[in-house]
Structure 1
Amino acid sequence: MKNVFILVIIFCTSFCFAQKQDLKKTIKEESIGGSLDFTKTIEEKYSSAPFIRFGDILYNKKDFAILFWGTKVKYLGIESLDEAVKLWEEIHEKKLTKPESKALKTGFETKLE
């Protein structure tokens, strides 16, 4: 019985890892020009606004798109802010600036209602 339990745990762990890899692959594919690229949506919605208020902070459109991205990837199942930052930097092949990092953190910590 103990061996069956261990096999089930190993199978579940492998399955969860595979799902996480699929999730990351999907996020990478959709983050530039896909459903997780919020730059066009924000530009259309806020075309005349140089800044967008979220809470008590004003964001430029680029940073506001990063905030949205952070919220969405958390909702999709990315579990930690560090994982989200690493993923964003892999996708965009550059380090986040301080304002971008703050926007991503705000988005990641935002609760969807």
Structure 2
Amino acid sequence: MKNVFMLALIFCASFCFAQKEDLKKTIKEESIGGSLDFTKTIEEKYSSAPFIRFGDILYNKKDFAILFWGAKVKHLGIESLDEAIKLWEEIHKKKLTKSENKALKTGFETKFE
């Protein structure tokens, strides 16, 4: 019985890992030019505004799109801010700037309804 339980735990762990990898793959595919690329949406909605206020902070359009990306990947199941930062940097092949990092963190930690 103990062996069956261990086998079930191993199977569950590998299934969860596979789902997590599928999620990351989907996020990578959709982040540039896909459903997780908010740059075009932000530009269309705020075309005449040089900055966008969110809370007490003004964001440029690029950082505001990163804020939305952070909120969306959290909603999709990315569990930690560090994981989200690493994923964004892998996708864009560059390090986040200080303002981009702050925008991603704000989006990741904000609860949207």
Give the TM-score band, short-chain normalised. Answer: over 0.9
TM-score by length of 1: 0.99
Detail structure 1 runs of 4+ shifted over 6 Å in the superposition: none
| Alpha-carbon distance, 1:112 to partner | 1.9
Aligned to 1:112, the other structure's residue is in SS state: coil
Q: Secondary structure at the match of 2:53?
A: strand
Q: What is the CA–CA distance in structure 1 between the aligned matches of 2:85 and 2:105, rounded to whole Å? A: 9
Q: Letter of the 1:20 partner, please give it.
A: K
2:50 corresponds to which letter in structure 1? P
Q: Where do 5+ consecutive residues of structure 1 fail to align? A: none
Report whether the alignment pairs 1:35 with 2:28.
Answer: no
How many residues end up aligned between the 2 structures?
113
In 2, Cα distance between the equivalents of 1:32 and 1:48? 23
Task: Specify the SS of the correspondent of 1:53.
Answer: strand
Alignment partner of 1:100 is 2:104: no
Equivalent in the alignment of 1:25 = 25
* Alignment RMSD (CA, Å): 0.3
Aligned mates of 1:112, 1:16 — CA distance in 2: 26
SS of match in other structure, 1:33:
coil
TM-score when normalising by structure 2: 0.99
What's 1:7 paired with? 7
CA distance in 1, matches of 2:101, 2:5: 42
Percent of aligned pairs sharing the same letter: 89
Look up the SS of the partner of 1:58 in the other structure: strand
| 1:56 matched to 2:56 | yes
Could you list the per-position Cα deviations for residues 33-83 of structure 1 after superposition, in whole angstroms to 9, with x for gaps in the alignment? 000000000000000000000000000000000000000000000000000
Q: What is the alpha-carbon distance in structure 2 between the residues aligned to residue 89 and residue 36 of structure 1? A: 15
